[in-house]
Structure formats: structure tokens, C-alpha cells
């Protein structure tokens, strides 16, 4: 069912950050930084996959995603909702259900047998596809999914995520140069503000996280394992 209420963008961001904190999806550790998929250190880590286990929060965030996309891109802008393997798949299914649209998903690489497909589900030439994922850091991982969608003859000019890092200035350019607009619910800045409001972590921890967010590359270089 398509949501009928439209909270402001700022209110969506605040509530989304609050929900991510509430379920423990937000992790800050300045003493023993996390290692990201890139191999670089970070004092912050977010696990949006946890959302699938919290039905009330999951449902609210998916409502937020649908109204955000419709408000920003249009009410009749899409014909198909595609999830990126693997984290985007459940969220794409939930968004597709709300928008009464077909759902498909995109593999990271061909499965290597049978049809050797990257697209699972029905996707037709000329369809306008929304790519749904859990989060984006610098936008780079989205490009392969977008290209796989476009290889079917469908178009993909929009991607929607729950969480956007918003700390790497190249992100919107990377996506924009590829003809893709980014839609999101909240960022690290929203989470940091809500964490300070709740006093969810020590002030020293939040100050160090803020230093990372303001200069992530420099912070990673300073804390890289030697």
C-alpha cells in the first residue's frame, strides 16, 4: 500500500537515524577501528541488514523510502524495482509491494551456469527501473548494477538507499556522471546529531567520529596498520 503521509525530509532523516540507533545498527569504536571492505580503518560502521528483523522499524523506513522516491522522482516514474545482491533484495521487495510494481534483483556477477544471468525476475526492454540498496559509501558499487540493468534495454536513472555516508565528495559526481540520481533517508551527519542528542555514546567517542567524518581519508591514513 502506498503511504499517504509525507513527512518533511528533515523529519525523515531524524527519525531514520533514531531507528538505526535504536536497533544497534550504528557502531562506533575509536579504540579499535573497524576494517571496511576496502581494507581501510573506520571508527564507524553501520549494519542496515539488521533492519529486516525489526518489522515496525522496517515498515516505517520502507514507507519513508517510497514517499522520498515519489516526491523526488515522480509518482509514475518507475515500472520495475530492482534490488542489488544481496542486501538490497529484501528492501526492493518491500518497496515494490508498496508501489504495486514488479520486482527483480541484480547479481553481482553472472551465476556461471544455466542462463548465466545477472538479472533475476522479469525485466523488459524500455522499463524504467529503480535500483534499491541498503546503503552507499562512494557510489562506485552501484555502477555495475546499473550497467547490468541497462544491458537488458531497460533504463536506470535512479537509486534509493536507506543510508548514505555523505562524507566522500566524489559520490554524487560518480553517480551523476553515470546518469544516476541518488535518493536516501539519512546520513552519518544525521546519525551523529541524533547520537549526541541521545548521549548514546561518550562525548569523546562522538568527537573522534566527527573528526573522521570531516576528513575520512586523512583519518584512515593516520590510523592505517603499519
* CA proximity to 139, closest of 61, 84, 214, 95: 84
What pLDDT score was predicted for residue 115? 64
User: How is residue 7 annotated by DSSP?
Assistant: -
What pLDDT score was predicted for residue 114? 54
* CA proximity to 44, closest of 17, 67, 63, 79: 17
Judge if pTM exceeds 0.95: no
pLDDT digits (tens, 9 = 90+) for 193-211: 999 999 999 999 999 999 9
Angle between helices 9-22 and 188-198 (to 10 degrees): 60
C-alpha cell at 117: 544471468
Question: How far apart, in whole angstroms, are the C-alpha atoms of residue 126 and residue 155?
Answer: 6
Which residue segments constitute the domains of the chain, with CATH numbers given? 9-215 (3.40.50.2020)
Mean pLDDT score across all residues of the chain: 93
C-alpha cell at 97: 509491494
What pLDDT score was predicted for residue 226? 53
What pLDDT score was predicted for residue 174? 93
Residues forming a β-bridge with 133: 161
Question: How far apart, in whole angstroms, are the C-alpha atoms of residue 1 and residue 106?
Answer: 24
User: How is residue 50 annotated by DSSP?
Assistant: G
Q: 61: Cβ–Cβ under 8 A, 6 or more apart, which residues? A: 16, 19, 51, 162, 185
What pLDDT score was predicted for residue 143? 95
**pLDDT < 50: residue spans in the chain:** none
pLDDT digits (tens, 9 = 90+) for 124-161: 999 999 999 999 988 888 999 999 999 999 999 999 99
Amino acid at each position: 500500500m502506498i503511504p499517504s503521509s509525507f513527512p518533511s525530509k528533515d523529519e525523515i532523516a531524524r527519525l531514520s537515524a533514531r531507528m538505526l540507533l535504536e536497533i544497534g545498527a550504528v557502531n562506533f569504536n575509536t579504540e579499535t577501528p573497524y576494517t571496511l571492505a576496502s581494507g581501510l580503518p573506520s571508527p564507524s560502521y553501520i549494519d542496515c541488514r539488521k533492519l529486516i528483523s525489526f518489522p515496525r522499524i522496517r515498515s516505517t523506513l520502507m514507507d519513508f523510502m517510497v514517499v522520498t522516491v515519489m516526491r523526488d522522482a515522480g509518482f509514475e516514474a518507475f515500472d520495475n524495482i530492482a534490488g542489488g545482491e544481496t542486501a538490497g533484495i529484501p528492501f526492493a521487495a518491500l518497496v515494490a509491494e508498496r508501489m504495486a510494481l514488479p520486482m527483480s534483483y541484480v547479481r553481482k556477477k553472472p551465476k556461471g551456469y544455466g542462463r548465466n544471468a545477472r538479472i533475476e525476475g522479469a525485466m523488459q526492454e524500455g522499463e524504467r527501473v529503480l535500483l534499491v540498496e541498503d546503503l552507499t559509501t562512494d557510489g562506485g558499487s552501484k555502477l555495475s548494477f546499473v550497467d547490468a540493468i541497462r544491458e537488458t534495454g531497460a533504463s536506470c536513472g535512479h537509486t534509493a538507499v536507506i543510508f548514505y555516508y555523505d562524507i566522500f565528495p566524489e559520490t554524487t559526481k560518480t553517480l551523476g556522471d553515470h546518469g544516476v540520481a541518488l535518493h536516501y533517508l539519512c546520513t552519518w551527519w544525521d546519525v551523529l546529531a541524533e547520537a549526541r542528542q541521545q548521549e548514546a555514546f561518550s562525548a569523546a567517542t562522538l568527537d573522534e567520529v566527527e573528526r573522521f567524518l570531516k576528513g575520512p581519508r586523512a583519518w584512515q591514513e593516520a590510523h592505517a596498520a603499519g
